[in-house]
Every structure is written in C-alpha cells, then in structure tokens.
Amino acid sequence: MTKQGTVWGWGMSMYGQLGLGFSADSFEPGIGLARSKVPKPTEITPHLPPDVKIKKIICGAAFTLF
C-alpha cells in the first residue's frame, strides 16, 4: 500500500487471494494456473464502505487480509 492509500498486488492469484476478481477456476481447465499469474504490480480496488480505511495488509499463500 502506498502513502496515498493505493493497494497493489502481483504474484499468483490461484485462489483469488490478490483480490483482482479472478482465480485459477475462472479459466478453462488446464490453463487456469498459467492465467492466474500476475507478473506486474496491478492496482487492487477494495470494495469498502467510505468510512473504512486500510491500516494493515497481511498476505499468505492462499489469502490476503486488509
């Protein structure tokens, strides 16, 4: 997360853990793993109520918590 509050993610989104709206299951069988790779930083737009601010991000192998 930047000082301006922008959240960026990259890596594997096999289970949708990057919050970009897709997972390996979103694609045809056999290509999901390759298509769920996000090699470049991509802006993530969390859908939060206007009064909620992100203070911390915790990432794991199959999840991301804001």
Each residue's pLDDT tens digit in the chain (66 positions)? 788 878 888 988 888 888 888 888 889 888 888 888 899 999 888 777 888 888 888 888 888 888
How far from 49 is each of 5, 8, 17, 40, CA to CA, in Å? 15, 19, 20, 28
How far is the C-alpha of 13 from the C-alpha of 55, rounded, in Å?
22
The pLDDT value given to residue 41: 92
Q: What is the pLDDT of residue 39?
A: 92
Residue 29: the pLDDT is: 87
pLDDT of 44 reads 85
Per-domain boundaries in the chain: 7-65
pLDDT of residue 40: 93
Question: Distance between CA atoms of 30 and 28, rounded to whole angstroms?
Answer: 6
